[in-house]
Amino acid sequence: MPLSLARSRQLQQRAESLLPGGVDSPVRAFRSVGGDPPFIARAEGAYLYDEDGNRYLDMFGSWGPMILGHAFPPVVEAIREAAGHSSSFGASTAAEADLAALVQQCFPSLEKLRFVNSGTEACMTAIRLARGFTGRSFVVKFEGCYHGHSDAMLVKAGSGVATLGIPGSAGVPAETAMHTIALPFNNLEAVRAAFDARPKEIACIIVEPVVGNAGTIAPLPGYLKGLRDIAHRHGALLILDEVMTGFRLSLGGAQQRYEITPDLTTLGKIIGGGLPCAAFGGRHDIMNFLAPLGPVYQAGTLSGNPLAMAAGIATLEHLIANEQTIYPQLEKTTAQIASGVAAIAREAGVTLTTNQVGSMFTWFFTGSEVTDFASAATSDTQAFGRFHRAMLEAGVWLPPSQYEAAFVSTKHGPEEVALILEAASAAFRRNISQRP
């Protein structure tokens, strides 16, 4: 039965008269999957509730931050208490160092760090810092990896850029993009060739250690350490963009899971407990190049916002205290969902490739092994769109893009696993195997 979305449709029409496309972030649009985007009224645990009274099992978790589920009581109370003292000061608070100490406990490679307000800001500044520290201009990134919407990083980016079929972005000067070298993920030979061509011109390599913005794509064995070795051999830095993977693949993110120590790390999403918050950090000699100690400038009026610090502290304290139970359970639940739907697809004769790392996963509608953006792009996006619409009608809200990872929270349990498997079974019977 089609969803009743009359109120959401009205709100979308109103939003389109005020906001470009009716959204404040393109990934919220449903243009690649079709149908009407529900407008959310509230959320609790593993569920979203829209303005029309419909309930959905949330499989994207605000694009990653809601690892403890929505409206997690300790986080809500921490925000409420902090707000009672004012939402912003523009001056230092003890909470900034309190959260920094918790981050450092989980990520020892961050000898010093600085808080900012978004992953874009964190990646943009980490790259500027790498350039300032090395005195070089070029940056190596990878096709399908998204490091925010700063000019230099919108070259062969994933995420909404891939979803909308945009090769880059208008408004990015060629003079800016020319210093970005985009290479295929999981291909060390391409990286070696780039450094051989510019042995003393590349400032850094920036990489999502597990790609999440082209769908979930794991690094091949030895790939991350190979990147670090190549960078260091040529006097460049390695930046791990753990905005998505930080605190999700393990308490110490991908660098703990894959035993890799970068020079700089960017963090976001979970670090703020759902509020706008991100950070970048790394070796103290590099971080000391930042103003007010060094010549690389960065500033932000709302950086270290007291509400975000409170939410982040409450989130990380809970993850640290319950690490031994939370992460194994997250991975177990994710595997039940990811492999369970894959098995149903096989029985229905639907071609599907499933990639999972920790509590993030993607179902690619392709028969190819997905190891980079080129192989991810072989997916049948129309089939994914039909699947997405059918799942939404059954009360399961997947990321509205073939090129985005799905996420599981601690609030996803046996009941939620059963719900998504039942919904997938019906979806494959109706919307995938019987194509219009």
Q: Is 362 helix (H, G, I), strand (E, B) or coil?
A: strand
User: What secondary structure, in 3-state letters, does 385-404 show?
Assistant: HHHHHHHHHCCEECCCCCCC
Catalytic annotation present for 241:
yes
Catalytic annotation present for 269:
yes
In angstroms, the CA 388 to CA 392 distance is 6
Torsion sign (Cα): 194, 198, 213, 161? negative
Q: Which of 50, 58, 241, 380 is catalytic?
A: 241
In angstroms, the CA 107 to CA 249 distance is 13
In angstroms, the CA 121 to CA 277 distance is 10
Exposed / middle / buried, residue 90 (Cβ in 10 Å: 0-12, 13-18, 19+):
exposed
Q: Which of 50, 52, 141, 146 is catalytic?
A: 146
Do the Cβ atoms of 299 and 273 come closer than 8 Å? no
**What is the number of helices (H) and of strands (E) in the chain?**
15, 14
Do the Cβ atoms of 39 and 11 come closer than 8 Å? yes
In angstroms, the CA 347 to CA 344 distance is 5
Rounded to the nearest 5°, which phi and psi values hold at 268?
-165, -160
Q: Which of 156, 223, 263, 269 is catalytic?
A: 269
Do the Cβ atoms of 21 and 29 come closer than 8 Å? yes
Residues with catalytic annotation?
146, 241, 269
